Amino acid sequence: MDPFMVGDGTDPIATFEHWFLEATKTEPNDPNAAALATATTDGLPSVRMVLVKKVDERGFCFYTNANSRKGQELAANPRAALCFHWKSLGRQVRVEGPVVELPAADADDYFHSRARESQLGSAVSHQSQPLVSREELERLVAEFADLHPGEVPRPEWWKGYAIQPQRIELWVSGPSRLHDRFVFLREANGWMKRRLFP
């Protein structure tokens, strides 16, 4: 089967969802991991790995500390790019577009679905800020756990974001570096599809 021909081949989200389902069976760890690129208002880029937790009508959704470097960059310049690379399948998906903040209820739901230890770590982390020692981090987690023996409160700065895709590129590895690449650009009446040179 042609990996690009999901349905009629004109909906990159449908193809992404099909590829992602395949990746859940072949990738050894975190098939939802993607490189997230953000930039400052003057164009200084930075990139890091995130876990994309949902893809729906709002876009590609992930969660993070809004006070982190990426959170600050998204606040100042709300555009981003994602790249999924599934080496086991020889496929990549690139996503670009504006970023919107998800409702607080979404952040609450996802935060409280995580393991308690992950919630505690997120609640005390001043992400991207200097840390004196590992022992300091462990002390903060233990103190916060003692203060909250029941439900861990979601910090107000722990938020969800969605990249609203305006451009999606689908890439399949080919022999002799003759890869197959298709780019989809969102237009008023749907997606415009073009084949690209590898």
Reference 49, options 12, 16, 85; nearest CA is 85
Is 72 buried (19+), middle (13-18) or exposed (0-12) by CB count in 10 A?
A: middle
Answer yes or no: 177 catalytic: yes
Let me know: does 60 contact 42? Beta carbons within 8 Å.
Answer: no
Let me know: does 46 contact 39? Beta carbons within 8 Å.
Answer: yes
Q: Which of 177, 181, 186, 195 is catalytic?
A: 177
Reference 166, options 47, 60, 74; nearest CA is 60
Active-site residue list: 177
